[in-house]
């Protein structure tokens, strides 16, 4: 291995020279004589103009590109007839002899999908010649839809891509998966590249959402290429295990400068809130539980000063109709040497949660300029400021930008401050305000006041939500720059050297304030935390690409590359507490204590060499090889370097003569089979994962050192072996396109936080080691059909569906893997050999014993055990003593938390000036843990769902709600996860419905000012078909973690109605 | 087509130069993979200077003062399992399930206490190994640090064996714990057979004997004297261990090292004095570094202090726990309106008429109360019980009176002090009064083989747990069971 590493070091420059040396060519120019050749380039099928096609006179370098109308025009010294070579990406190159002017040049597309190229970040390739597995999402699928970040919009748009919108909290990071889960304790987040720059992902906002991807304005995006198999991703080597998403932003199109304005306004409402008890029912139910426990009643239905019953709807305190608006303005254009795209955006969004506000201002400049025949330079840059503020909702996923681990869990859902939980548990029979207008607060502990209830009911550890919304503050501000500058040197027409320097600078400032009256700030007499973190990733990428044809039919392209990526995180902050005067509301005010908070200083580097070789013979036989060698600073000396790579082959059967001669050609227009295999890795390790380290602290004020991480010097690269076999077919005059893929990702030597017996006393009870393996396999189908293509009426359908089977095949010597921290509130997910990662785990139950109202559990020996909540005792149904039920020992895997199938159906209609699109997403085959149901059946002061009225009350009664016993948090699954809260998570959702109208400008005076005008109305989350009894089967609180499928105590999703306008000037 | 002619073209020479520069730059980048943390110290350097060695020693106590452990929660759990307190807060995250005896092997707290304890043990084991091989410390310091590590290890094992194993007096030969005595720095040693209760106690006593031998008599400041183990700390802890084993002879031998035969009861060695403070209420209430403290955790700065739910003050005053009417709070010392016992001053009554323990009064964050882990008063009462058990009733009475009269000088014991067994009971009761809320209650029930009594509180009810019930002591946590194949099931 070491030797190989040295070999590479020397081989590389030599290789480079090898490609370099024979490729110097002289550029000849001839004197220009005044003659003009002009004409138009069009598509052979649609007969529409092709802007941007390259037209060149044979034998000379004089070249022009067609304008927006497909026209070209050049002045030359040549006499007619002349020979023109016309090239356009995605079309067959054409050589035409011009003898008459103007000339119409008809290009035949390589495949039906016009101008379809796959952009891999380092290069691009025509889809027809591409042998990897990739899906592309185009700008049209992302435009004009309300969202905070583009990833929220990708659901259902591409085969193999699974997006889950976790809650209605603004800018919460969605779950983003490509072909399942490809790690267990390393990050499971895909690699995201924007114009060659690897961007930060995760949650950066502390208590409020801050998705760094919000820094990429969806309307600036031209294409999103999702690279899935080894062939497509291997060029990203060690970072590609979870798939790669390559985003290309818009460029100016040839022609005059074009200005556009796009704006929308939207209204969001919470939908499908669980129905809770009203005050009268609450009082009755709670008193019944008290009485059953042998305790005095204590809940009282109170009256206000007008004699009306006190009835508080905490949903009204928490939610409202949020009004948002969004504006984009852009100018773009291109001349023969320069193309530019300049855009600004502004958004001001108010979510369904009161006080939750998201504003963003951004500007983008994309510029590419051909300095001379040799050198092209350019810049793609965006600067963005976003501010999200609002309450802690409990919905923010656990994966931070700096540390993204697969086993992370959200622990906020049981925190005291978060809004989601408070809406479910706050008693409905206590007022928000007292008669004198002050907040209803228990002055002894800062909780909600007892109202009419007896204080001997014990602690109501719930805060008055109104005080939290009014007085507490959380704010997360990001200033981000994502950009790159590049220079491309054409050493020859077909030999290019490109150097690109990319920078992603993300500066996040999180501030919070907790009031001293009620809420988390009570015990500290108020507190304020400020923290600022600078995430910086700088990359330098150098590629040398060479393309050549030898013979007539051999096409070869070679890319050699080098890249270095340095990432650093630098954060600091503090918490101040003990307000010196109630006047103060910010960190900078007067306080009596200060403790450090949010301190981090860490960096890592990846150094890489890579190559991509593509060869095809006559467009029939395709071969592609990718190799990458990565060195990572986080690994120990001797293990730093890893080799990754993939190869793929393809066969365009439809290019074969026998195929062209056969009768099928009239139905089957194109047919390609392809296969790929390769090895990629996962480099999302702790920055110093291999080291054993000690952290400083104090004891009694004196310096101390504590063993904080047990390292592993033998830590190596994990390898993810990806296999993909695909078939692409175009039918009925290219109107029906179908692709089918079988994939299998085998991950070996998984980098795992291998659990250690806790008696070893290892920090975190885990060692990072290469143990374990898992695989994902399945099929992907994508169908694109242009069902109706009449002049006036068009109907396009896009359908995709993916299947997924995820299995953990080994966890080394260790046993099951639980979420990172055990919770006193049960274990919902377990990763176990033979099952899907992060499977749903619960103790099976068998209803309620009709004799006594006890919950019946099924223990590890398949015996029925009932729980007497009064005596806290377990017995068999015959009354003899049974061992206690334990979540770990008696729990079982009840199903996978990952859907086994998912996809989307998108219909686009247009009739004259109207357009209509209907987007449906679906997924299924997974289980969901309905934790909110556990919360709202808890027998403390918590409010309950209306279903609680079916509780057991008398012998013989058959019901699934046990007898109510005050203080019981066990029978209904709040402290131990039970199967009666586990439900099927399958659903289909009408995610998006849009109707638009292009206003004909006709002869109106507007025509002098506008070139196009469209208005539209749009609705999101209109309708869900599901058997799931919770609010929304899409809710998932653990973010990009393997512990998915948990819905508990977070705000519901929003239903959004939008009206918008698109103007072209 | 390609040709080499072009190389001669001047136009390309600058580019050739650029290429050269580029590859030179690339060659220099290898070093960029050599990154080391700047905010943590790597294993190689962590024991490299005398200052770092001292910091490692301090780190042991830091581990012990973990919020899940002796920094707060462990003590609260020991009280919640007993009967002195009623649960006011039904929330499991404040231990409602500990109080109502329904926590099981996969419960968070069952795992957290175990994990915090074994991290402390492993830190001690690592330090012990490092001390053996290190070269620059003076022999004196090496011996002292070794003794401190053994003290901490013994202190930790004692709490573990009390929490997770059958009481010694019930079955010394039952399997207790994995007895980890070697440094674990790279994991992999998951499987270790459990040792018996007897073996664990043998190890504890062996460590404490060695600690007594090697520990200094005292340190250079009062803060250090209470916060780090010294000779008296090891001896005092031994009286607690022998009490648990009902080994009265050994207990008496150890206690006699700290307690003279006659009043005034005082231990002094070099610059250190241990004795009862004049006013028990002064023992609590904050930054206590008086002579009664033999070993305490001093939370002196905000960043060390435990968080809300772990803090003793929060638990006792918010309150999570209020005094059970049927517990020791009903004793005349606390309940009799005419009682003038100073310890009554340590209780307060809140607006809801709940009686609360006010030994740790700093009920707002940062929770900067000191936590006493060994007090001189305990040694006197341990000694008294041993003397009473072995028939030396008069000296036992004198020690009992010393405790009572410190708080209520005029009090006369009119009953319960004549016969040996009734005197033992009286001393036992005095200990409940004196150490209310300091984390002793369930341990005291265990050593006597008494059931954990049934109790009632605002948060519900808790059943009686008899000594033969499986949940009499806490189960071995799931984080051990899942990965140690040799753990008994």
pLDDT of residue B3: 41
CB-neighbour burial class of residue A490 (10 A; exposed 0-12, middle 13-18, buried 19+) = middle
DSSP per-residue string spanning B141-189 = HHHHHHHHHHHHHHHHHHHHHHHHS--TTT-TTSEEEE---S--SS---
pLDDT of residue A336: 79
For chain B, positions 230-269, list CB contacts with chain A under 8 A: none
From B410's Cα to the closest Cα of chain A, the distance in A is 37
Q: For A27-31, A755-759, A845-849, which range has the lowest pLDDT when averaged over its residues?
A: A27-31
C-alpha angle with apex B75: B74 to B77, nearest 5 degrees?
A: 65
Report the residue of B465, B478, B489 to disrupt the A interface, i.e. the one with the largest count of A CBs within 10 Å. Answer: B478
From A489's Cα to the closest Cα of chain B, the distance in A is 9
pLDDT of residue A822: 59
pLDDT at residue A890 greater than cutoff 70 = yes
From B93's Cα to the closest Cα of chain A, the distance in A is 7
From A499, A631, A698, residue closest to B33, measured CB to CB: A631
pLDDT of residue B26: 63
pLDDT at residue A597 greater than cutoff 50 = yes
Cα torsion A230, A236, A238, A239: sign: negative
Using 50, 70 and 90 to split pLDDT, how confident is the model at A729?
very high
- What is the rounded distance in angstroms from the CA atom of residue A633 to the CA atom of residue A645? 20
pLDDT at residue B238 greater than cutoff 70 = yes
Residue of higher predicted confidence among A400 and A324: A324
What token pair was written down for A695? 């952290």
* pLDDT tens sequence across A478-502: 999 999 999 998 887 788 899 999 9
pLDDT of residue A619: 84
Using 50, 70 and 90 to split pLDDT, how confident is the model at A28?
very low
What mean pLDDT do residues B421-425 have?
A: 95
From B111, B186, B320, residue closest to A767, measured CB to CB: B186
* pLDDT tens sequence across B329-384: 999 999 999 999 999 999 999 988 999 999 999 988 899 999 999 999 999 999 99
CB-neighbour burial class of residue B469 (10 A; exposed 0-12, middle 13-18, buried 19+) = middle
pLDDT of residue B11: 55
Contact assignment for A756 to B190 by CB distance below 8 Å = yes
* pLDDT tens sequence across A142-190: 888 888 888 888 888 888 888 888 788 898 888 888 888 888 878 888 9
Chain B residue with minimal CA distance to A817? B482
Cβ contact A669:A651 at 8 Å: no
From B101, B121, B126, residue closest to A872, measured CB to CB: B101
What mean pLDDT do residues B405-426 have?
A: 94
Contact assignment for A697 to B59 by CB distance below 8 Å = yes
Residue of higher predicted confidence among A129 and A331: A331
From A444, A703, A710, residue closest to B187, measured CB to CB: A710
Chain B residue with minimal CA distance to A414? B93
From B312's Cα to the closest Cα of chain A, the distance in A is 13
What mean pLDDT do residues A658-683 have?
A: 87
* pLDDT tens sequence across A932-955: 999 999 999 999 999 999 999 999
Using 50, 70 and 90 to split pLDDT, how confident is the model at A388?
very high
Cβ contact A388:A209 at 8 Å: yes
pLDDT of residue A588: 95
State the pTM of this model: 0.87
From B43, B300, B458, residue closest to A458, measured CB to CB: B458
Contact assignment for B478 to A822 by CB distance below 8 Å = yes
Cβ contact B194:B487 at 8 Å: yes
Report the residue of B55, B56, B152 to disrupt the A interface, i.e. the one with the largest count of A CBs within 10 Å. Answer: B55
pLDDT at residue A694 greater than cutoff 90 = yes
**Pairing mode of beta strands A36-43, A103-107:** parallel
* Number of Cα atoms under 13 Å in the Cβ half of residue A103: 23
Cβ contact A242:A192 at 8 Å: no
Residue of higher predicted confidence among A404 and A969: A969
Residue of higher predicted confidence among A741 and A753: A741
pLDDT at residue B25 greater than cutoff 80 = no
* pLDDT tens sequence across A817-842: 887 655 667 889 999 999 999 999 99
Q: Inform me whether the C-beta atom of residue B35 falls under 8 Å from chain A C-beta atoms.
A: yes
pLDDT of residue A184: 82
Using 50, 70 and 90 to split pLDDT, how confident is the model at A18?
very low
Using 50, 70 and 90 to split pLDDT, how confident is the model at A360?
very high
What residues contact A364, with CB distance under 8 A and at least 6 apart? A217, A220, A249, A341, A342, A343, A344, A380, A381, A382
pLDDT of residue B258: 97
Closest of A917, A1044, A882 to residue A992, by C-alpha: A917
From A295, A607, A708, residue closest to B29, measured CB to CB: A607
- What is the rounded distance in angstroms from the CA atom of residue B178 to the CA atom of residue B192? 6
Strands (E) located in A711-750:
719-731, 736-748
Cβ contact B89:A461 at 8 Å: yes
Place of tokens 């009734």: B422
Task: Please give the radius of gyration of chain A, using alpha carbons only, rounded to the nearest integer.
Answer: 31
pLDDT, averaged across chain A: 88
Chain A residue with minimal CA distance to B483? A757
pLDDT at residue A652 greater than cutoff 80 = yes
DSSP per-residue string spanning A32-96 = --S-EEEEEEEETTT--B-TT-EEEETTS--EEE--TTSEEEEE-SPPSSEEEEEE-TTB--EEE
From B4, B59, B482, residue closest to A815, measured CB to CB: B482
Phi, psi of B248 (to 5 degrees): -65, -40
pLDDT of residue A823: 63
Chain A residue with minimal CA distance to B350? A444
With a pLDDT cut of 90, the percent of chain A lying above it is: 55
pLDDT at residue A254 greater than cutoff 90 = no
pLDDT of residue A235: 84
pLDDT at residue B37 greater than cutoff 80 = yes
pLDDT of residue A249: 92
What residues contact A345, with CB distance under 8 A and at least 6 apart? A217, A219, A220, A326, A327, A328, A329, A360, A361, A362, A363
Q: For A997-1006, B78-87, B390-399, B456-465, which range has the lowest pLDDT when averaged over its residues?
A: A997-1006
* pLDDT tens sequence across A272-312: 999 999 999 999 999 999 999 999 999 999 998 889 999 99
Closest of A201, A236, A230 to residue A747, by C-alpha: A230
What residues contact B139, with CB distance under 8 A and at least 6 apart? none
pLDDT of residue A813: 75
- What is the rounded distance in angstroms from the CA atom of residue A649 to the CA atom of residue A865? 59
From B164's Cα to the closest Cα of chain A, the distance in A is 13
DSSP per-residue string spanning A850-918 = TTT--EEEE-TTS-EEEEETTTTEEEETTS-B-PPP-HHHH-EEEE-SS-SEEEEEEEEEEETTEEEEE
Residue of higher predicted confidence among B82 and A768: B82
Contact assignment for A26 to B6 by CB distance below 8 Å = yes
* Number of Cα atoms under 13 Å in the Cβ half of residue B106: 24
Burial B401-422 (b: 16+ CB within 10 A, else e): bbbbebbbeeeeeeeebeeeee
Q: For A55-59, B44-48, B135-139, which range has the lowest pLDDT when averaged over its residues?
A: A55-59
What mean pLDDT do residues A574-601 have?
A: 93
Using 50, 70 and 90 to split pLDDT, how confident is the model at B19?
low
- What is the rounded distance in angstroms from the CA atom of residue A831 to the CA atom of residue A1013? 53
For chain B, positions 57-96, list CB contacts with chain A under 8 A: 58-59, 61-63, 65, 87-94, 96
What mean pLDDT do residues A540-563 have?
A: 88
């Amino acid at each position: 291995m070491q030797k190989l590493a040295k070999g590479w070091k020397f081989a590389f420059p030599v290789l480079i020279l090898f490609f370099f040396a024979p490729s110097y060519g002289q550029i000849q120019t001839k004197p220009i004589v005044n003659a003009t050749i002009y004409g138009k380039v069009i598509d052979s099928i649609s007969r529409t103009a092709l802007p941007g096609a390259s037209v060149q006179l044979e034998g000379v370098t004089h070249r022009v590109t067609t304008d927006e109308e497909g026209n070209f025009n050049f002045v030359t010294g040549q006499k007619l007839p002349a020979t023109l070579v016309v090239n356009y990406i995605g079309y067959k190159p054409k050589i035409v002899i011009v003898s008459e002017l103007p000339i119409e040049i008809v290009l035949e597309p390589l495949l039906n999908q016009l101008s379809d190229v796959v952009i891999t970040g380092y290069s691009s390739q025509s889809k027809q010649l591409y042998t990897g597995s990739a899906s592309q999402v185009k700008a049209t699928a992302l435009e004009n839809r309300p969202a905070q970040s583009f990833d929220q919009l990708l659901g259902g748009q591409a085969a193999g891509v699974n997006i889950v919108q976790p809650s209605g909290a603004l800018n919460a990071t969605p779950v983003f998966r490509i072909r399942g889960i490809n790690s267990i304790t390393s990050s499971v987040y895909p690699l995201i590249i924007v114009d060659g720059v690897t961007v930060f992902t995760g949650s950066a906002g502390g208590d409020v959402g801050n998705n760094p991807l919000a820094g990429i304005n969806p309307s600036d995006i031209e294409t999103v290429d999702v690279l899935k198999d080894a062939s497509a991703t291997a060029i990203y080597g060690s970072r590609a295990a979870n798939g790669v998403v390559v985003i290309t932003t818009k460029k100016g199109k040839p022609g005059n400068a074009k200005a556009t304005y796009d704006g929308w306004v939207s209204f969001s409402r919470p939908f499908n809130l669980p129905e809770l008890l009203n005050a009268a029912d609450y009082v009755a139910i709670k008193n019944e539980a008290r009485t059953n426990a042998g305790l005095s009643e204590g809940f009282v239905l109170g009256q206000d000063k007008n004699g009306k019953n006190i009835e508080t709807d905490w949903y009204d305190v928490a939610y409202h109709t949020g009004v948002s608006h969004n504006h984009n303005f852009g100018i773009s254009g291109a001349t023969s040497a320069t193309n530019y795209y300049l855009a600004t955006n502004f958004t001001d969004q108010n979510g369904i949660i009161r006080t939750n506000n998201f504003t963003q201002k951004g500007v983008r400049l994309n510029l590419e300029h051909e300095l001379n025949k040799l050198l092209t330079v350019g810049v793609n840059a965006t600067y963005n400021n976003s501010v999200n503020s609002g309450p802690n909702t409990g919905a923010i996923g656990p994966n931070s930008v700096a540390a993204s681990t697969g086993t992370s869990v959200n622990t906020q859902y049981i925190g005291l401050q978060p809004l989601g939980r408070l809406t479910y548990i706050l008693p409905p029979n206590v007022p928000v305000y007292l008669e004198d207008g002050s907040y209803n607060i228990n002055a002894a502990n800062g909780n909600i006041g007892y109202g009419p209830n007896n204080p001997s009911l014990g602690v109501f550890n719930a805060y008055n939500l109104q005080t939290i919304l009014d007085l507490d503050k959380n704010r997360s501000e990001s200033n981000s720059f994502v950009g790159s500058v590049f220079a491309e040197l054409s050493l020859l027409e077909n030999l290019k050297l490109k150097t690109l320097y990319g920078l992603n600078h993300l500066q996040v400032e999180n501030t919070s304030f907790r009031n001293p009256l009620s809420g988390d700030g009570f015990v500290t007499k108020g507190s304020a935390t400020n923290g600022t973190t600078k995430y910086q990733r700088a990359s330098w990428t150098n590629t040398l690409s060479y393309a050549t044809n030898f013979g007539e039919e051999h096409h070869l392209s070679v890319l050699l590359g080098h890249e270095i990526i340095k990432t650093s995180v630098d954060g600091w902050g503090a918490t101040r507490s003990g307000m010196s005067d109630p006047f103060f509301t910010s960190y900078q005010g007067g306080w009596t204590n200060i403790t450090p908070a949010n301190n981090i200083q860490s960096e890592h580097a990846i150094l890489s060499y890579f190559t991509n070789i593509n060869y095809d013979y006559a467009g029939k036989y395709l071969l592609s090889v990718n190799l990458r060698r990565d060195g990572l600073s986080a690994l120990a000396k001797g293990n730093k370097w890893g080799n990754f790579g993939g190869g793929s082959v393809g066969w365009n059967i439809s290019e074969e003569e026998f195929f062209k001669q056969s009768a099928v050609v009239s139905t089957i227009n194109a047919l390609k089979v392809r296969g790929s295999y390769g090895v990629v890795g996962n480099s999302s390790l702790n920055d110093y994962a291999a080291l054993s380290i000690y952290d400083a602290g104090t004891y009694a004020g004196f310096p101390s050192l504590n063993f904080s991480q047990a390292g592993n010097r033998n830590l190596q690269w994990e390898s993810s072996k990806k296999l993909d076999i695909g078939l692409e077919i175009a039918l009925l005059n290219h109107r029906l396109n179908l692709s089918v893929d079988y994939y299998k990702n085998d991950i070996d030597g998984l980098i795992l936080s291998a659990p250690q017996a806790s008696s070893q006393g290892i920090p975190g009870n885990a060692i990072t080691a290469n143990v374990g393996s898992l695989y994902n396999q399945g099929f992907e189908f994508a169908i694109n059909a242009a069902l109706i293509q009449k002049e006036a009426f068009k109907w396009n359908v896009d359908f995709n569906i993916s299947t997924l089977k995820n299995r953990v095949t080994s966890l080394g010597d260790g046993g099951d893997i639980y979420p990172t921290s055990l919770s006193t509130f049960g274990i919902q997910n377990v990763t176990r050999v033979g099952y899907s990662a992060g499977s749903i785990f619960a103790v099976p139950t068998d209803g309620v014993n009709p004799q006594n109202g006890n919950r019946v559990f099924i223990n590890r020996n398949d015996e029925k055990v009932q729980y007497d909540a009064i005596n806290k005792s377990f017995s068999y149904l015959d009354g003899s003593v049974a061992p206690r039920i334990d979540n770990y020992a008696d729990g079982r895997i009840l199903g996978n938390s990952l859907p086994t199938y998912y996809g989307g159906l998108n219909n686009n209609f247009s009739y004259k000036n109207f357009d209509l699109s209907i987007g449906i997403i679906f997924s299924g085959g997974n289980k969901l843990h309905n934790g909110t149901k556990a919360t709202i059946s808890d027998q403390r002061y918590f409010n309950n769902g209306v279903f609680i009225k079916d509780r057991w009350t008398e012998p013989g009664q058959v019901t699934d709600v046990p007898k109510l016993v005050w203080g019981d948090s066990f029978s209904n699954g709040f402290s131990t996860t039970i199967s009666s809260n586990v439900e099927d998570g399958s659903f289909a959702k009408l995610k998006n419905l849009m109707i638009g109208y292009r206003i004909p400008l006709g002869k109106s005076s507007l025509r002098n000012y506008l070139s196009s005008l469209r208005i539209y109305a749009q609705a999101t989350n209109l309708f869900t078909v599901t058997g799931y009894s919770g609010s929304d089967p899409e809710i998932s609180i653990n973010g990009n973690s393997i512990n998915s499928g948990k819905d508990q105590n977070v705000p519901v999703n929003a239903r959004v109605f939008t009206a918008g306008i698109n103007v072209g000037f | 087509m390609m040709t080499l002619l072009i190389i001669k073209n001047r136009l390309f020479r600058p580019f050739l130069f650029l290429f050269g520069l580029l590859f030179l730059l690339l060659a220099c980048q290898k070093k960029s993979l050599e990154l080391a943390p700047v905010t943590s110290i790597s294993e190689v350097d962590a024991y490299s200077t005398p200052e770092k060695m001292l910091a490692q020693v301090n780190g042991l106590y830091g581990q012990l003062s973990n919020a899940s452990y002796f920094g707060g929660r462990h003590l609260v759990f020991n009280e919640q399992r007993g009967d002195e307190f009623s649960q006011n807060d039904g929330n499991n995250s404040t231990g409602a399930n500990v109080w109502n005896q329904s926590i099981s092997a996969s419960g968070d707290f069952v795992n957290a206490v175990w994990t915090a304890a074994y991290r402390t043990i492993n830190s001690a084991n690592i330090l012990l190994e490092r001390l053996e091989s290190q070269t620059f410390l003076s022999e004196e310091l090496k011996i002292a640090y070794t003794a401190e590590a053994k003290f901490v290890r013994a202190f930790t094992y004692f709490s573990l064996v009390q929490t997770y194993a059958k009481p010694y007096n019930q079955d010394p030969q039952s399997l207790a714990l994995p007895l980890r005595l070697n440094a674990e720095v790279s994991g992999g040693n998951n499987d270790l057979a459990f040792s018996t209760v007897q073996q664990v106690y043998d190890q504890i006593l062996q460590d404490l004997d060695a600690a007594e031998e090697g520990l200094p008599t005292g340190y250079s400041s009062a803060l250090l004297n209470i916060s780090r183990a010294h000779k008296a700390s090891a001896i005092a802890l031994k009286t607690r261990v022998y009490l648990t084993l009902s080994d009265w002879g050994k207990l008496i031998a150890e206690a006699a090292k700290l307690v003279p035969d006659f009043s005034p009861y005082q231990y002094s060695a070099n610059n250190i004095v241990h004795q009862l403070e004049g006013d028990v209420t002064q023992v609590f209430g904050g930054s206590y570094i008086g002579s009664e403290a033999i070993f305490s955790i001093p939370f002196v700065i905000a960043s060390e202090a435990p968080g809300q739910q772990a803090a003793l003050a929060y638990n006792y005053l918010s309150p999570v726990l209020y005094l059970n009417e049927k517990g020791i709070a009903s004793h005349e010392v606390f309940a009799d309106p005419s009682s003038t016992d100073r310890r009554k001053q340590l209780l307060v009554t809140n607006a809801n008429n709940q009686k609360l323990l006010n030994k740790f009064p700093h009920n707002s964050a940062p929770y900067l109360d000191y936590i006493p882990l060994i007090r001189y008063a305990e040694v006197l009462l341990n000694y008294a019980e041993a003397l009473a058990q072995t028939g030396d009733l008069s000296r036992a009475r004198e020690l009992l009176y010393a405790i009572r009269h410190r708080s209520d000088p005029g009090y006369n014991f009119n009953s319960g002090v004549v016969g040996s067994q009734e005197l033992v009971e009286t001393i036992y009761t005095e200990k409940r009064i004196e150490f209310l809320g300091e984390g002793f209650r369930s341990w005291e029930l265990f050593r006597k083989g008494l059931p954990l009594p049934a109790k009632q509180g605002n948060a519900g009810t808790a059943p009686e747990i008899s000594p033969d019930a499986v949940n009499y002591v806490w189960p071995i946590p799931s984080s051990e069971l899942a990965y140690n194949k040799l753990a008994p099931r």
